Amino acid sequence: MNKYDVVIGLEIHAELKTKTKVFCSCKNEFGAKPNENTCPVCTGMPGALPILNRKAVELCIKAGHCFGCNIANYAVMERKNYFYPDLSKAYQISQLVHPLCVGGGITLSSGKFIRLNRIHLEEDAGKLTHISKSVGTLVDYNRGGTPLIEIVTEPDFSSAEEVDEFLKKVREALVFADIANCKMEEGGMRCDVNLSLKPRGSTVFGTRTEMKNLNSFKSVFRAIEFEIDRQADVLDAGEKVIQETRKWDDVKGKNMAMRSKEEAQDYRYFPDPDILPIKISDEEIQKIKEDMPRLPEQRRKEYVEKFGLPEYNAQILTSSKYVSDYFEECVRLYNLPQKISNWIMVDLLKLVKEQEEFVFPISEQHLVEIIKMVEDKLINKTVGLQLIDKVIETNQSPKALADKMGLLVTISDQQIIDLLKKLKAENAKVCADFKQDPQKVMGFIVGFVMKNTGGKANSDLVRKLIPEIFND
């Protein structure tokens, strides 16, 4: 395998998170009854005309900002003409000569920069369902006309690992910036792989194949590895790689040539006369950029460098924009990032474990109040957790609740000492065990004190005082 350089380029499609389709006001929604979200425009009725969805354009520009692209001041929607039953107008409105975003790229962890060629806006086709030979094939146009961005990379990848990392970074940014859901299994993100081999060190590219039907990151990985081996075998045998499209079969773990068309399709692109050219001012481009959230990679860097958090914590906290914003707000209110990150990661996230899109049931202010009380030793962690539940239940402020419930009653050092002395006096076995092996009975003694103080004693303090009493 070291005989060859691997050259890979990607074409990624991501479904945009808009309420309505890109050229009509039908709902952009997954899972509706077949043909429920359709109208004359997206079903290609005679006389219907497209009206460009402004939000879709903004999201495409946002995607461009995610990856450092140049945003065009002048962009054109073009017609890509071809016949297929899932394409109601027999042309797809896409972009060719003047896309919305050009250039940009992503730096991998190795430091290698993967260049983007472009990001453009287009519409999706409907879905075909093959029923049976007698019934035939049915078409559902719900997905027809929904907005997609197409991200095209330069052929800069040299391995499946690089592609895998890249795809994950793309998904992370698009999800974080609320541009796309990128759920590959639902078709929210699709990836076609163009792959070729060339003799190691050669500057001449080999013949490439295109692979489709890759429905998960794992499939992409496996498909790339398979195709590298397949092409290497072909070349080793002295034969030529055929330029073709190959369909990946994840179950069988191999790809197969799709029925080849004799020549490349001529899509007869021309600018769509129904849609005026898109003109965007530098001010508008800048405004969209300013409305962008800071992206996860940048935030992680800050959390590690500024807050001193471990990478692992930074990773969890940037799993979504919501959690990251929540964390940052808490830190803004109370500058204890490490402690706050623990509370969120351990205690809050478990409250919303099953939910996909969630909101923490306790506000940043309230959480911070509780953490402060614990840090100030007004209450201990156990009480703090109880308080969280109570705040969620009653929506009252932690301070008010703590007062009402008498949770703030501090157990004084003296009270603890008295209890320890009491235990010492009443329980000779404990004393003896303590002399022998303090660690063995520490837990029991602490438990005794907690039980007799309704759990309010500060366990750290108790542990400090135990040796003083039992060690005389």
Partner 1 sequence: MEFKDLSVKELAQGIKTQKFTSESVVKYFIEQSEKKKDLNAIIEIFDDVLEKARAVDEKIKKGIPVGKLAGIPVAIKDNINYLGKKMSCASKFLKDYISPYSATVVKKLEAEDAVIFGRTNMDEFTMGGSCENSCYGPCKNAFDSTRISGGTSGGSAVAVAAGMCPVAIGTDTGGSIRQPASFNGVVGIKPTYGTVSRFGINAFASSTDQASPIAKNVDDCEFVFEILAGKDKNDATTINNPFASLPVKQSYRIGICKEIKAEIEKLETYPKFKQAVEKLKELGCEFIEVEVPHILNTLACYYILTPAEATSNFARFDGVKYTTRSSDAKTLEEVYVKSRSEGFGKEVQRRIMLGNFVLSSGYFDAYYNKAKKLQTLLRKEFAKAFTNCDVIMMPTTPGEAFKIGEKIHDPVAMYLEDLFTVPASIAGVPAISVPYAKGKAGLPLGMQFIGAEKTEKYLFDLARKFESALKENCDE
- Contact residues for partner 1, defined by CB under 8 A: 40, 43-52, 79, 81, 83, 85, 88-91, 139, 266, 268, 270, 273-276
Closest CA to 163 of 212, 225, 101: 225
Residue 15 vs 78, nearer CB to partner 1? 78
DSSP structure string for 382-430: HHHHHHHHHHHHH---HHHHHHHTTTT-PPPHHHHHHHHHHHHHH-HHH
The long-range contacts involving 128-133, CB below 8 angstroms and separated by at least 24 positions, are 128/85, 128/86
Q: What whole-number distance in Å separates Cα of residue 79 and Cα of residue 56?
A: 17
Cβ closer to partner 1: 32 or 48?
A: 48
Q: Which residue is it, tokens 């703090």?
A: 384
| Nearest distance in Å: CB 58, partner 1 | 17
Residue 275 CB, shortest distance to partner 1, in Å, is: 6
Cα→Cα distances 430→101, 134, 419, 435, 438, Å = 74, 84, 14, 9, 9
Q: How far is the CB of 73 from partner 1 (least distance, A)?
A: 19
Q: Which of 81, 17, 32 is nearest to 267 (CA)?
A: 81
**Minimum separation from the CB atom of position 26 to partner 1 (A):** 13
Q: Please identify, using beta-carbon distances, which residue of 1 and 276 lies nearer to partner 1.
A: 276
Please, what is the minimum distance in Å from the beta carbon of residue 19 to partner 1? Answer: 17
Helix (H, G, I), strand (E, B) or coil at 143: coil
Dist. CA 150–CA 171, nearest whole Å: 13
Between 85 and 308, whose beta carbon lies closer to partner 1? 85
Determine the distance from the C-alpha atom of residue 240 to the mean position of all C-alpha atoms in its chain, rounded to a whole number: 40
- In the complex, the smallest distance separating the C-beta of residue 273 from partner 1, rounded to whole angstroms, is 4
* CB proximity list for 232: less than 8 A, separation 6 or greater: 1, 3, 4, 197
Q: CB–CB of 50/93 below 8 Å? A: yes
Q: Which two tokens stand for residue 277?
A: 């050219």
C-beta closer to partner 1: residue 211 or 278: 278
Report the residue number, 95 or 324, with the smaller CB distance to partner 1.
95
> Structure tokens of 435?
């002399």
Q: Which is nearer to partner 1, 82 or 444 (CB)?
A: 82
- Could you tell me the smallest distance in angstroms from the CB atom of residue 27 to partner 1? 18
CB of 62 to partner 1, least distance (A): 23
* 133 vs 429, beta carbon nearer partner 1: 133
Q: CB of 138: closest distance to partner 1 in angstroms?
A: 11
Q: Which one, 261 or 350, has the nearer CB to partner 1?
A: 261
Three-class DSSP category at 161? helix
The number of angstroms, rounded, from the C-alpha of 273 to the middle of its chain's C-alpha atoms is 37
Q: In the sheet where 270-271 sits, what is the strand order? A: 91-94, 78-81, 270-271
Geometric angle at alpha carbon 197, from 194 and 202, rounded to 5°: 125
Paired sense of beta strands 245-249 and 209-212, if any: parallel
Nearer to partner 1, 264 or 425 (CB): 264
Least Cβ distance, residue 276 to partner 1 (angstroms): 6
